[in-house]
Amino acid sequence: MAEVTEHVTFTNRGICGLVSGSLRSLAPEEATALRDHEITTRLFDGAAPPPGPGPTGTWNDVAAARREFEASMRALVELASDDGLDLRAGGYEHPVFGLMDGVQWLLFAAGHTESHRAEITELQRLTEAR
């Protein structure tokens, strides 16, 4: 369970970094590859996801893994809540989806987390049982 949590946490951290500092300005004529609702409904469309941050095997403490995951989720929420950011004005290429703006990257983080929800829920159950 800690390995799944580590993977999702590292992905969330990467998306936070990308959205907060690596988005390039989009020209008015540029269009994102997908509509917002397609980000979560078409998550990889059954295709293999691109290589991403894999587990290091060092996250052995379930409670610590849960804290790290929750911190990464809070960071995403804070980023989404920042009124000073125009998340539609910047974009970055996703290796499967193509060009996505900042809002869509946050939607992707939500969809990615949801795709691992069963494993994360099990981690939560184990933590609470302690």
Domain that holds residue 98: 2-129
Please give the tally of structural domains in the chain: 1
pTM of the model: 0.84
Q: Hey, how many other C-beta atoms are within 10 angstroms of the C-beta on 73? A: 16
Distance, CA of 3 to CA of 70 (rounded, Å): 15
**pLDDT tens column, 57-93:** 888 887 888 899 999 999 999 999 998 889 999 999 9
Predicted pLDDT of residue 66? 85
